[in-house]
Amino acid sequence: MRVRAVVLLAAMPLLLGAWTLSSENHMPWNPRGKAVVKTPGGVSHVIRYSVCNFGPHAGRLRFGGDPINSGSPYMSLVVRELKGNPAVLDIEDGILRLGNNSSFAVLGTAHVQDRPVRRGTFVLFRHKGGGVTGKVRYAGSWKCG
């Protein structure tokens, strides 16, 4: 019985530390953040609300407060600083939905206008798979709020 108590007491700091770390990494949606996406046909879509979090060299830009499986506009981009040029972000994974219930994968490039990373511009291409992009081009700007 004493052994179980000692093991439980020894494990408590690890469990509480992991719980605290995960809650610190969860950032609330910012209602002042937004992305403006221009389609190849010239139609602009505004996607409101953002969560933007960055580590030393990589991060995630998310826009649109509704769940990913709803019909509302949504964009989530996984970005990494281009080696040798921290003002350019390589979009290595992403999803874009512009309100017509069709979501698709995207790849592209973003340019940072502020440090720390708060706003910038981007160019996205439909991702066909295996790193191959299509010719359909979406361009726009983003602001984390």
Q: Cis (ω within 30 of 0) for the bond into 28?
A: no
Q: What count of Cα atoms within 13 Å lies in the side-chain half-sphere of residue 53?
A: 7
Closest by Cα among 115, 97, 96 to 106: 96
Look at residue 138 in the predicted model and tell me its pLDDT. 96
Whole-angstrom Cα distance, residue 59 to residue 7? 37
Summarised one tens digit per residue, pLDDT across range 47-98 is 999 999 988 888 999 999 766 667 789 999 999 999 889 899 999 999 999 8
DSSP category for residue 84: T
pLDDT of residue 65: 78
Domain boundaries, the chain: 27-143
Residue with tokens 């069709």: 102
What integer pLDDT is reported at residue 26 of this predicted model? Answer: 57
